[in-house]
Structure 1
Amino acid sequence: MCHDHDSRPPAPPRSGDVAERGVLTLTAADGTDFSAAYAAPAGPARTGVVLLPDVRGLHPFYVALADQFATAGLPTVAIDYFGRTAGVAESGVRDADFAWEPHVQAATAEGIDADVAAAIGYLRERVGGDLPVVTVGFCLGGSISWRQAGGDLDLAGCVGFYGRPSLVGDAADRARLPTVMLIAGADTATPVADQLALAERMRTAGAEVDAVVYDGAPHSFFDRAHADWADACRDAWEHVLALTDRVGRD
């Protein structure tokens, strides 16, 4: 199961002030409006994040996570995938009863990439045109993020939590961007062996892949409610921040 409507993310290992937070509407190059949550740190930013949610789209977990990234010094845009098929939610955030299944089935790689590109553009418009940007995704979003390692968008790196290798497809054979794979050792949705095989496939293509398996951790372990996995959550944060620090501008 992905993060539910009441889940909230664990805090990052470093913290600062947030200068701005809110939900807004962005427009992709094909004219599609979609919801996004934006949060920005008070201090200077070296790297930006496009946050890619699970199958439920932009729900409160990801609004809160955008804020957590901002406290760690990273301006962040969390996007909703479903503007093309479900329209923009009245509040900008998907409700707990949002029927996401048909919209996931109708989503296309081209449409999602257009939304990611618009989010990258918004970050650079707000923070600076030379801002390096990484994608960070969860479940469906983890797969989408890993796929970006072999895509054409102007990104500096990719992070995915518990993604599905089958959704990465042939992009794995073109992977070139530094990639972090955060793998739940007890994930019943996707075998660990499949995710490690994807890591090797991407390495063969030329990408540097940091693949970490958290033995015994369940799918969606990155949740403040999972006290048993607090150490894994802290370690996952460290791997994410190591990548964003590494690719950050001077």
Structure 2
Amino acid sequence: MCHDVDSRPPAAPVTTGGVAAHGPLEITAGDGNRFPAYRALPTHPNGRSVLLLPDLRGAHPFYLLLAQRFAEAGFRTLVMDYYGRSAGTAPRGESFDGAAHMASLKPEHVETDAAAAVAALREEDEGPVLSVGFCLGGGYSWRLAAAGLGLAGAVGFYGPPRFFEDRAEEVSAPLLMLLAGEDVATTPEQFDALAGRLERAGKAYERHVYAGAPHSFFDDSFARWADACADSWHRLLGFVERHSPVAAA
């Protein structure tokens, strides 16, 4: 089921360059938790929505800008924060210490909040929803493919398998793994073991490793890895095209 793809994927959707609206909002989860989120709406929707799961910093300004980039490519996009239970709903600025709150974060918290975020996306459009996550969010993005949310696909950038491996055999959507060759947080052997579990369970996934790239290479502060960032963006869009067909937008 695995495709270790070495070539650029099929032609990606053309960026439309328009953001119709964007801004913060609060969402209430099924257990009553209120958490901050950020929504970016495209001028020309492509019929798909993205739930964006950030790294341990939560709804950091970097991810708010990234949500706008997804909107420019036609996606209704919602960034969810993880720390409503411990940090309230105040904006997560540059100085917010997500690491101080991560110890109290549990998988069921992420799944409960993600269910509410996905529901919010579907209130506006019933088209396919995909999760896209980075680091902590990468692992949880893959996990959400086993959370009964009806996702069309789950994309993770250098996500630690420990947030996901106990659910690997339960995924019900294809996965895309975009990995850093010099990741200090997760070894290649850990990803090989995860891939083996997916293979044995007959789960569909794609994996690409960026040789020499560090953990968190997809970040605006890593200009040295611009080629890897651009390639991973095109791979992501190609994955979306293959796994979430929609009627002509």
TM-score (norm 1): 0.88
Report deviation, 1:220. Answer: 0.8
Counterparts of residues 6-155 of structure 1 (less than 5 Å): 14-89=15-90, 93-126=91-124, 128-129=125-126, 131-155=127-151
Contact 1:142 1:161 in 2 (8 A): yes
Structure 1 vs Structure 2: percent identity of aligned residues? Answer: 47
Report deviation, 1:225. Answer: 3.2
Q: Aligned equivalents of 1:199 and 1:40: distance in 2?
A: 35
SS of 1:212's partner is strand
SS of 1:170's partner is helix
AA matched with 1:105: A
Distance change >3 Å, CA 187–CA 119, structure 1 → 2: same
SS of 2:209's partner is strand
Q: Aligned equivalents of 1:201 and 1:119: distance in 2?
A: 29
The answer to whether structure 1 residue 180 and structure 2 residue 176 are counterparts is yes
Q: Aligned equivalents of 1:73 and 1:248: distance in 2?
A: 14
Alignment-derived partner of residue 196 in structure 2: 200
1:162-209 C-alpha deviation (Å, 9 max, x unpaired): 111122132012223110000000111111231233123223223211
Q: Aligned equivalents of 1:98 and 1:227: distance in 2?
A: 24
Alignment-derived partner of residue 221 in structure 2: 225
Higher strand share: 2
The answer to whether structure 1 residue 244 and structure 2 residue 240 are counterparts is yes
Q: Which runs of 5+ in 1 are unaligned?
A: 1-11
Q: Aligned equivalents of 2:181 and 2:200: distance in 1?
A: 23
TM-score (norm 2): 0.89
Q: Which runs of 5+ in 2 are unaligned?
A: 1-12
Contact 1:176 1:206 in 2 (8 A): no
Q: How many residues align?
A: 234
RMSD of equivalent CA atoms:
1.6
The answer to whether structure 1 residue 235 and structure 2 residue 231 are counterparts is yes
SS of 2:214's partner is coil
Distance change >3 Å, CA 217–CA 136, structure 1 → 2: same
AA matched with 1:138: F
Q: Aligned equivalents of 1:229 and 1:142: distance in 2?
A: 19
Q: Aligned equivalents of 1:140 and 1:225: distance in 2?
A: 18
Q: Aligned equivalents of 1:27 and 1:100: distance in 2?
A: 20
